[in-house]
Chain A
Amino acid sequence: MAYSEKVIDHYENPRNVGGFDKNDPSVVTGMVGAPACGDVMKLQLKINDAGIIEDAKFKTYGCGSAIASSSLVTEWVKGKSIEEASQLKNTQIAEELALPPVKIHCSILAEDAIKAALEDYKKKHAG
């Protein structure tokens, strides 16, 4: 299967790989997995008191499209508010990376990773 140029770029030069100190109170984590292919994705966001995502890092075990999808969303969410980030749709990721239909689930994984991280934020700020 042919990967698009953008997928290859993100795959070869992934942005924001790694993680933050999970004991840092401004750090939230989203963990998701895709049963269909066994891909696992961890997305961490650093969110300031104003509710703005200051930084993002990811670690993904999966195919090129899964890595590219997570790399792309770390770029996209930086500087966004929680509200804005929560509106991000997998279709935007799939479109940007020109993912073929069989790889759409990679973009769903990335969208769900953001949602899971924001869910973690809600949990941490509920009490």
Chain B
Amino acid sequence: MNHFEFFNLPVAYELDLAELQQRYRKLQQALHPDRHASGSERDKMLAVQRTAQLNDAYQTLRSPLLRAEHLLALRGVDMQHEQKTLQDPEFLMAQMEWRERVEELDAGYFAGIDAAYKDLAAQTAELQGELERLLVANDNEAAADTIRKLKFMHKLRRELEALEDV
């Protein structure tokens, strides 16, 4: 299933999000159950199916990480989420340090949490930029590893968010 084709968009990482949203809304309206109220049961069911596909495609494309994964899948790269571990000692050592830092942050210590957010955002943006370059350069294996790294950054973000819920 090519989600880009669903929206009649070029298969590329770069994407105009406003354009995507516009096309999404148009397709959504066309598939709305009210428009198919007088149709056969089969028509109605198809519309429901297409709506589910549409939502799936939209959620995938509008997320930078999911879009990158989808693009790699179309290029024949399987991310093997459950099976493949990341083995980049430098990055993982930094992750350990991050975890220690987050562990030492007391819930509700907002100045510390804010500083951590800022550092995390900067490092995440750097990886995101690297991912874009790698995808444009067709360096798919390196791009897959960068996606894996970004997943760790997102996990850290969730940990920080959890600290805010006091």
Contact = CB atoms under 8 A, between A and B. Distances in A.
B96 A32 contact: no
Interface residues of A, number: 19
B166 interface: no
B92 interface: yes
Contact of B82 (A38, A61, A105): A105
Interface residues of B, number: 23
A77 interface: no
B148 interface: yes
A108 B85 contact: yes
A108 B83 contact: yes
Interface in A78-127: 104-105, 108-109, 112, 116
B133 interface: no
A31 B148 contact: no
Nearest to B92: A31
A33 interface: yes
Given A32-B92, A61-B96, A38 B156 contact: yes
Interface of B: 81-89, 91-93, 95-96, 99, 147-149, 151-152, 154-156
21 contacts: A29-B89, A31-B92, A32-B92, A33-B87, A33-B91, A35-B86, A35-B152, A36-B151, A37-B155, A38-B151, A38-B154, A38-B155, A40-B95, A40-B96, A40-B152, A42-B92, A61-B99, A108-B83, A108-B85, A112-B85, A112-B87
Given A31-B96, A38-B154, 8 more contacts: A29-B89, A32-B86, A33-B85, A35-B85, A35-B151, A38-B156, A104-B82, A112-B85
